[in-house]
Amino acid sequence: MTLKEAKIYIQKELSDYYPKNEIESFIKIIFSDVFDLSSVDVLMKENETLPRKAKLLINEITERLKTYEPLQYIIGFTEFYGLQFKLSPDVLIPRPETEELVDLILKEYKDPSGFENPKGLQILDIGTGSGCIAVSLAKNLPSAEVFALDISSKALETAKSNALKNNIEVTFIQEDILNDFSDNVAFKRRLTSVASKRRLTRVASKRRPTKFDIIVSNPPYVTFSEKEKMQKNVLDYEPELALFVEDDNPLIFYNAVCRFARHHLSSEGKLYFEINEQYGKEIKTLLLSSGFSDVEIIKDINGKDRIVKGRLI
Ligand SMILES: C[S@@+](CC[C@H](N)C(=O)[O-])C[C@H]1O[C@@H](n2cnc3c(N)ncnc32)[C@H](O)[C@@H]1O
């Protein structure tokens, strides 16, 4: 099988399952991320014969795509904010709208020449999943100290390997954000014990935060009633724990994170949320009634309410 034949094979096999543009994007990812071939390489080498191993791999990927398994899970990684992230079935596939959230934070704390302002920020990512937010912030704000929390130990394992893979340090904490963390001393003790268990000298140092400058969260926000409108590839493969909330309490995580932020953000510290487009106004009201000012709803590239941010006063 030549490269050209491989392309035609994938197009033909998947034509009953996906729209044409999606198949083209799969082909691009398979050639570039699995076989390390650019679009130019593919054109130049289209008559070259693929080794038997590559042919078998293409067959396997195509068959798995037919079951609507997301390509990112099949190949085991994805790109986010220019970095590579390993994926496992225990973590959500990072979405482009979350890149917009990271980009917004970086624009507010880094000037166009790349200078961090201020330096040495203490940042906490709540519901870190693959670690995409925490790792991208740590990579782009080298003087910051980044913490990331999730309830899922398996998600944290993946996030840890993503920190390693991208050569940065993040302190990971396994916690349920729905617990009561109003006692700042207890939470600090928790951070200390995590740090000493893992012998993270950097955290065990004097720079351990008393308060965070930035808290960011992309918590579960899809209601169960929205589930039936969702695509099979999300429903069958992405972790339910990362996605869904009860219809009668859709803002449960926003309430919990706001409560947490009131106790653990420094004065003037900022809170950034990714949101369900349906709840922008409610989340804005929640922040205003929780003591935040400069509260703004920000739209994503598709014009949907996607981020809410505020500053603690
Ligand atoms: C929507 S995913 C976000 C993942 C990642 N931050 C991203 O943007 O792709 C929400 C994350 O919250 C975590 N989570 C769910 N319930 C939680 C809880 N009670 N406490 C802490 N984390 C929780 C899930 O395990 C999941 O990783």
pTM (predicted TM-score):
0.93
Which CATH number is 88-312 given?
3.40.50.150
Mean pLDDT over 152-173 rounds to: 97
* Among candidate residues 244, 257, 248, 302, the one with its CA nearest the CA of residue 283: 257
Of 229 and 294, the structure prediction assigns the larger pLDDT to 294
Residue 117 CA, ligand 1 centroid: distance in Å: 28
How many angstroms separate the most distant Cα atoms in the chain? 66
The span from the CA of 244 to the CA of 222, in Å, is 5
pLDDT tens digits for range 177-228? 999 887 777 777 777 666 555 544 444 444 556 799 999 999 999 999 998 8
Structure confidence at residue 200 (pLDDT): 47
Residue 293 CA, ligand 1 centroid: distance in Å: 26
Contacts of 13 (CB under 8 A, 6+ apart): 62, 66
Phi, psi values for residue 124, rounded to 5°:
-125, 130
Q: Report the nearest-CA residue for atom 19 of ligand 1.
A: 176
| Ligand 1 atom closest to the CA of 220, numbered from 1 | 1
Q: Which residues pair with 203 in a beta bridge?
A: none
Residue 51 CA, ligand 1 centroid: distance in Å: 41
Residue 242 has pLDDT above 50, yes or no: yes
pLDDT tens digits for range 49-101? 999 999 999 999 999 999 999 999 999 999 999 999 999 999 999 999 999 99
Residues with CB under 6 A from ligand 1: 92, 94, 98, 127-130, 132-133, 150-152, 155, 176-178, 218-220, 241-242
Mean pLDDT over 301-308 rounds to: 97
253 residue type, one letter:
F
Structure confidence at residue 206 (pLDDT): 46
Domain ranges of the chain: 3-66, 88-312
